[in-house]
Amino acid sequence: MAFIDIASLSFDDRLRLLDELWESLSTKPEAVPLTNAQREELDRRLDDLDREGPVGIPWEEVLGRIRERNR
């Protein structure tokens, strides 16, 4: 396994790395254990989503705001 000196990466590279790590975990969500509290919270949020529909800001917009703030 190769090690990366994360501190030496640029902000954008660290964001890309974070995104890649998250994507790799999300391919097998069943491999990520949940506590009962986490499962209950996810159920609550899914119920809210069913009632209210999607709310929030698209990821691309969030990422753009972060990048603008750090320039």
1 domain-assigned = no
In total, how many domains does the chain have? Answer: 1
State the residue range of the domain holding 35. 6-69
Angle, helix 59-69 to helix 11-26, in steps of 10 degrees: 160
The 10s digit of each residue's pLDDT in 36-62 is 999 999 999 999 999 999 888 999 999
Amino acid identity of residue 61, one-letter, is E
**35 lies in a domain?**
yes
Residue 55 inside a domain? The answer is yes
DSSP state for residue 7 in the 8-state scheme: G
Return the number of other C-beta atoms located less than 10 Å from residue 32's C-beta.
9
Cβ(67)–Cβ(12) below 8 Å: yes
Answer for the pair 33, 26: CB distance below 8 angstroms, yes or no. no
Q: Give the predicted TM-score (pTM) of the model.
A: 0.44
- Mean pLDDT score, 10-14: 95
User: Does residue 30 belong to any structural domain of this protein?
Assistant: yes
| Length of the chain as a residue count | 71
Higher-scoring residue by pLDDT: 26, 45: 45
